[in-house]
Amino acid sequence: MNALGRHVLAEIYGCNPEVLDNPETVERILLQAAVEAGADVRQVAFHKFSPQGVSGVVVISESHLAIHTWPEYGYAAVDVFTCGDRVNPWEVCNRIVTGFDAKQVQATEMRRGVFGVSPKQVAG
């Protein structure tokens, strides 16, 4: 089935809490994952919450990477959305998991922009 994009949604557990609470480190890991997977980085925006947590987005020519962290739980919610065939979202996701020193990950892929198929066929 052809699609405009691939969207990996990852639940990442058992991460290093110090990494997840440091916006510079989180940004570096996401940027490095994107670049090493062949993505073309356009813009970045990250925010540190008080008392803890980081949210951020890396805009790439192929789409985006987004993250929200809960250091107190060692947990990160990560989205990797890529369009075209040049960048594999699973490669990006796996590099992020490694960077966070995660113990467990649950991830799924959703095809985005599937045309010519009824919604029942896509969901089923």
- Write out the catalytic residue numbers: 63, 68, 83
DSSP tag of 42:
E
Q: Is 29 within 8 Å of 100 (Cβ atoms)?
A: yes
The three-class DSSP label of residue 34 is: helix
CA distance 65 to 58: 5
Other C-beta atoms lying within 10 Å of the C-beta of residue 87: 20
Would you say 108 and 9 are in contact if contact means Cβ atoms under 8 Å apart? yes
Sign of the alpha-carbon dihedral angle for 105, 48, 110, 3: negative
